[in-house]
A and B are shown apart, each in its own frame.
Chain A
Amino acid sequence: MRYDPPFHRTNGLWPALSILAVLIGLPLFVVDPYTRHLLVLSFIFAAVAASWDLSLGFGGLFNFAHGALFAVGLYSFALAVKFLGLSPWLAIPLGGLVAMIVAALIALPVLRLDGIYVILVTIAVSQLLYQVTVSQSKWTGGTSGIVSLPALRVGDYSFIRDGKIGYYYAALLLLVLATTFLYGVIRSPLGRAIVGLRDHKYFAIARGVSEARTRLLTLVASALFTGIAGAFYGSYVRVASPDVFGLSFLTLILSILLVGGVATLWGPIVSAFVMTFLSEAIVGLGPWREIIMGIVIVLVVSFYPGGLWAAVQELRERIDTGRTAMLVSWRRRMQRRTRVDRMAGAEEFLLATRHGCIAVSDTGGDKPAILLLHGNSACKEAFAKQFAALKAEFRLVAFDLPGHGVSDNGDPETSYNVIAYAEIAEAVIEARGLHRPVVFGWSLGGYVGLELAARAKVPVAGLAICGTSPLTVVPDDFAAGYDASSHLILASKQYFTRAEAAAYAGSATAPKSAESAYLHRNLPRTDGRARVYMMTKLPVVNWPRQMRMLRDGKLPFAIINGADDPFLNRGYLLALCRSEGWSHPLVNIPNGKHAPFFNTPQTFNEIFLSFCRQAFAAAEGQDARATRP
């Protein structure tokens, strides 16, 4: 099960379309034939490097005969137009076809080998092809190659005319087709099998992925546009020379791939432009050019293995963090009144903790206290209805987790995890002077509550959780405790599209309506890193300690879920609650969804109220026993 929206519904659509529009419009401004020539080369190399990434990056198959596949496309084009008299338009797809056949032949030895042996056998194949090409000088012209190949033309119009404008658009079309093809392959079941085999070979095989078949298809798919690009290159430079078999061509494509970022589709495409123009810019330096390129490769591999694409992602993350930080400082000042009104007049305080500035809503007073912990990508105002309904009898306190609501963004490495959230909850309990509060945790907040109680640094009177499956072993129990719906996968996704944000907020609390609109407006404020880091740092929590505490049974505890929670696996919870020695109630509220306190507040409040009363009574009894002489 994986969540993958179609391309036109991802965040990548508009950037990709605008860059394409720029590239389509560019010849209007770039009339210099030499710059256009470099752009054409960039398009071709981008298609070759991105295709190589399918086997090298996504597949982990180090096919060093990739340059030879390009050469195969080039030579089959040259031979077809020169000796068969084939039209160049037919010879270009033929180049792709022949390259695919050769790739299938290369796959035969590769099927049995791994790691370094794949590199060696593909180098040997590539050298074999080179030697055969050079030795057949009657056909291939030996080391001087096949010259004066025909240019592409439509009718009488040669593509070279008007500053190579025809070649520019043909090469752009080639790149667009190659990108579309690779995008489709990567996200198809085949693409997942390719990545699966790379990441965990035996697990993938056990899941029914055929290693031999997948490797064969990987190589063949990576050969298609490599061969076509080779043939197109032949029609463009109009020479088929054996240089393309050589190490320097391979090194150029490899440097494009590495500098762009391995195992990304867009990285090699971006870096093809950078590297082609860079290597042209320093062409006057002679041998120093190769030295500089070599040093660039070593530096990138050593110090920035993610490449350019990782830099782009980092920039995007910075922009997004800046956006959320600005949103917070604006909302803190301008919308304070609205929030106080929404929380039934509860004052909002800012509390400095070691995880940043935390916003706390507190109704105050000398009543038994309840601390409410909100869930992933929500805010403390999710509990507005409880603040209104329960403040007469209890003191209600809620706060925004770091990266959520109007709290500061935290340091992702230290502040976006369940343990840090529990530390903040402790800091809030101490700073607001809450004596033995009942803690209510919703979803992610449920884990924060469990961790808070298990740490036992501050005493709590009771704990109720909602939309949370208590876990013992992570990640196994996490997979069992939840239904793998696509919306759950959003819980750890860094950036949401509009549709995803609406879907996630809708299934986590309520579909957008006048009543829930403020929760939907709050969602884009959440720091995307909070979702990612919280999920990846789940394993650092001491889960068995939480489960021991629950089974120990000393702490009043209840699970209050919506009966039709879209995320929870009810079977897991039923099994847990029916297991031996389990003494805590499990309540399912009809029509409750994932946030029953918001969707069916009346039923929820009744149940929660009776739980709180019992918990406080038990705590009072304990206090009384403790103080009795």
Chain B
Amino acid sequence: MDLQTLVSILESGAALGILYALMAFGLAIVWTTLGIFNFAHGAFIATGAYLAWQFGNAAGFGLGYWAGAILAVLAMFALGVVVQTLLVRPFERHRDIVLLTVITTLAGASIITNLLNVIWGPRMKQIEPALGGEVTVGLVHVRSQELVMVVVVAATLFAIGWFLLRTPLGRSMRAVAQNREAAQLMGLDVRLLYALTFGLAAAVAGLAGVFIGSIRFMSPTMGDDPLQKALVVVILGGVARFTSSIYAAFAVGIIEAFSTYFVGLYWTPAVLFGLMIAVLIIKPEGLFGRRQRSV
């Protein structure tokens, strides 16, 4: 394997990784804060892509790529709040909240996916990229769209990090995630913060959908694969810190790139799931997580 191959593997791994970080963020923050797994996350990603297509593309409202992306993200925030209110909030404080929300979000995913099918039809679509062409930086050739994506995603992740670490609202969200009772005693509106967290997760999922929709084809079930990738990332990273799922995303991206090169495309998902099972058996709190007595 020459240097060129290695660099291109690392490059594609990093590009995958940054996309996975975006896809996994929403899943991770909902899990940390609400203590549930949102199986409608993949459907959120697909919805974001379709909304951006509808707003931005010439066949839709034709507002342009960026306006479409921004409107889609805002609409996804609202959708996230609605889904949380309908499918998650009724079971808060329920003993079996974990199983119940798995069931309701699975049902929600099925409802959303099929609604997408009803509204936009099963035919493949693609969002026109913001920039065409390729760019060469040293040994690396990338599509301009991917470079745009890398920049926007990095900026988004930094913005979210700043929001969570520095602003009062972000700190309230983290407080609720760390200790619900204490946060409530300090006067934080837990229900509102839960809804906002879910909305934020959905908005970021929508953004991920916009990028996936512009580098791959869109279909109502386009969220299934990102959901599985996000699951692997979140399990690998654990949810101890905001950053742990970002590291894990890069790890998964690079593992996937190497695995595709060495063991082939077909075996790559099996490798990732095998890895996920191994992590769950050996270190269920995640590679970057802190050890807890029980999980």
Interface residues of A (CB under 8 A from B): 62, 108-109, 112-117, 119-121, 123-125, 127-128, 131-132, 134-135, 247-248, 251, 254-255, 258, 286-288, 290-291, 293-295, 297-298, 301-302
Contacts and interface: CB of A to CB of B under 8 A. Distances in A.
A127 B269 contact: yes
B37 A297 contact: no
Contacts, number: 116
Q: What are the 6 tightest A-B residue pairs by CB atom distance, in nearest-first order? A: A135-B266, A287-B114, A294-B111, A294-B107, A128-B273, A131-B270
- How many chain B residues sit at the interface, stated as a range, is 35 or more
A297 B104 contact: yes
B107 A131 contact: no
B103 A258 contact: yes
7 contacts: A62-B98, A62-B102, A117-B280, A119-B98, A124-B277, A131-B267, A290-B113
B295 interface: yes
Contacts of B106: 247, 251, 254, 297
Interface string B33-65: 000110000000000000000000000000000
A298 B235 CA distance: 27
Contact of A297 (B86, B103, B284): B103
B111 A124 contact: no
Contacts of A248: 110
Main SS class of interface, A = helix
B179 interface: no
A295 B231 contact: no
B37 A120 contact: yes
Interface in B263-295: 266-267, 269-270, 273-274, 276-277, 280-281, 284, 294-295
Contacts of B190: none
Contacts of A109: 277, 280-281
Given A123-B231, A131-B269, A131-B273, A117 B284 contact: yes
A290 B114 contact: yes
B228 interface: yes
Contacts of A301: 100, 103-104, 107
B90 interface: yes
Contact of B37 (A116, A125, A295): A116
B104 A124 contact: no
Contacts of A125: 273, 277
Interface in B71-108: 86-87, 90-91, 98-100, 102-104, 106-108
Contact of A298 (B104, B115, B232, B295): B104
A119 B110 contact: no
B117 interface: yes
B275 to A, nearest CB: 9
A558 B106 CA distance: 63
Contacts of B100: 301
A127 B295 CA distance: 23
Contacts of B111: 290-291, 294-295, 298
A181 B224 CA distance: 36
A294 B86 CA distance: 13
Contacts of A119: 37, 98-99, 102
